[in-house]
Structures are given as C-alpha cells and as structure tokens.
Amino acid sequence: MPKLKVLPGHAICPQGAEIDAEPGKSICDTLLEHHIDIEHACEKQAACTTCHVILRQGYDSLEPAEEKEEDMLDKAWGLEATSRLSCQADKGGGAKRRGV
C-alpha cells in the first residue's frame, strides 16, 4: 500500500506522520481518515483552496489535475509547481510514496 508522509511543522500535524494511503482515495480523505484535520471548506468540490498541499515526492505518479482544479490552484497562496488540491489529488491512481 502506498505511504503518505506528512512533514512536521504544519499546524495540522506538528509531529509529522507516515500513514498508509489507499490507492484511488484522495489525499484529503486519507488525511481525514487518519485524524489529520486538513481544511476543506467547499466539502471537497474543488471550489476553494483551503486543502492546498505542496507535494515533495510522488507528484508525477498522481492523476493529472483537471481544468477546474488548475483554475482554483491559480488562486492558492504559496503556489508551487507541485501544488495540488488534496481533495482532488489521487482520485484514480497512486504513488508508492507521497510527501506533503
């Protein structure tokens, strides 16, 4: 099963974590299932940027972002080349290891 590594230092997971990530499940859903309370103000509809994450590993193994997600990411604070909305990332595939 792929691993999702959450780097320490962020308010939602100050100690960091490494958790199993079920393929086909979004990063947001995986985090929430493991009691890591990432914001998702639009209820995971790709209509806001509160679940914006920056991936440090595994970006290329995710399903490509759809146009709606890319349009929202243009509004995200701190946008990087490996930014994704965690509610949309990994709907159909999965990296062996992802770092956020």
CATH of the domain at 80: 3.10.20.30
For residue 46, the model assigns a pLDDT of: 96
What is the structure's pLDDT at 91?
54
pLDDT band at 96 (very low <50, low <70, confident <90, very high): very low
**Structural domains in the chain (count):** 1
Strand ranges of the sheet holding 3-6, from the earlier edge strand across to the other edge: 17-20, 3-6, 97-99
pLDDT at 92 over 90: no
Task: Give the residue numbers spanning the domain of 41.
Answer: 3-99
- The residue assigned the tokens 């990296």 is 95
